[in-house]
Amino acid sequence: MKAITPDQEYLSTRQSAKILNVSLGTVQKMVELGELIAWKTRGGHRRILASSLEQQLRRRALAMRQKSSQHCLLMGIFRRTENSLALSDAMAHWRLKVDMEISLDSLEGLMQAVSISPDLIFLDALIPPVEQVHLIHYLSKNTRTQRIPILVDEGFIQLHPGVLQLAGENAGVLKPLPNETQALEAEEMVITENPLILGYPATTPSENINAINRDRFDSLESVFIEGLGRKYEWSSHAAN
């Protein structure tokens, strides 16, 4: 991870993504959520305020410290065994310690998530989109899981923006769209405002789905930490 030098007052979106070890899309989402302060140049390029980036790094470090003495409990719902093994292999090298419950069946995974109330829920990209839609809907409706961050493939988020809006309404973290016109407009753009659904680096069409994509999972630790931070924030918000 690159450091922020004292003379930097603002950074580009790409520089910010490298420092946070996240995708460009995640940085844009953080700006829209108000987690990073930014402005646009005349050419339309975003510039991120360095002080807000440093604050984000401190918040992540705090989330890491809060979890340093205990395990993060993850519910992973997969389509293939090899992907669950690939994620397990990647997590073994993380600083964040994760205990993972695994299900290769969506309905079984949904029931397990309701039963154990994990810290995070991971939906593998190979789960059929229709099943992911139903999973997100029911997880966001159930009182035991509706405030648990869900990690979803970025490609799914791009294709199903309305699901994120509905899930946010179910969980009480987004206001319902007031009329049909705005609902249709929402379907035409990517809904990025739901703080309890996080996108992880998308699976590209060129990837061999029969291979164990360990490299794809190696960069997920920062997404997990971000999810834990948001879980703490919403737990505190609900308590107040």
Question: Average pLDDT of 90-114?
Answer: 92
Is there a contact between 136 and 127 (Cβ–Cβ < 8 Å)? no
Question: Average pLDDT of 65-80?
Answer: 77
pTM reported for the whole predicted model: 0.65
CATH among 1.25.40, 1.10.287, 1.10.10, 3.40.50 for 1-51: 1.10.10
Our measurement of the distance from residue 78's CA atom to the centroid of its chain's CA atoms, rounded to an integer in Å, reads 17
Residue 162: helix, strand or coil by DSSP?
helix
Task: Decide yes or no: CATH 3.40.50.2300 for domain 63-239.
Answer: yes
pLDDT in tens, 27-47: 888 888 778 888 888 888 888
Range from 56-65, 98-107, 223-232 that averages highest in pLDDT:
98-107
Range from 73-77, 157-161, 228-232 that averages highest in pLDDT:
73-77
Q: Is the pLDDT of residue 10 over 60?
A: yes
Tokens 């590209």 found at = 204
Of the pLDDT bands very low, low, confident and very high (cuts 50, 70, 90), residue 63 is: low
Those residues whose C-beta lies under 8 Å from the C-beta of residue 84, and which sit 6 or more positions away, are 76, 78, 100, 102, 104, 124
Is there a contact between 121 and 77 (Cβ–Cβ < 8 Å)? yes
Which one is predicted more confidently, 216 or 54?
Answer: 54
Residue 136: helix, strand or coil by DSSP?
helix
Q: Where are the domains of the chain?
A: 1-51, 63-239
State the Cα–Cα distance between residues 126 and 185, nearest whole angstrom. Answer: 28
Q: What is the pLDDT of residue 207?
A: 47
Our measurement of the distance from residue 186's CA atom to the centroid of its chain's CA atoms, rounded to an integer in Å, reads 20
State the Cα–Cα distance between residues 54 and 118, nearest whole angstrom. Answer: 29
Of the pLDDT bands very low, low, confident and very high (cuts 50, 70, 90), residue 70 is: low
State the Cα–Cα distance between residues 132 and 10, nearest whole angstrom. Answer: 38
CA distances (Å), 144 to each of 119, 171, 197, 240, in order?
11, 11, 16, 18
- % of the chain with per-residue pLDDT over 90: 27
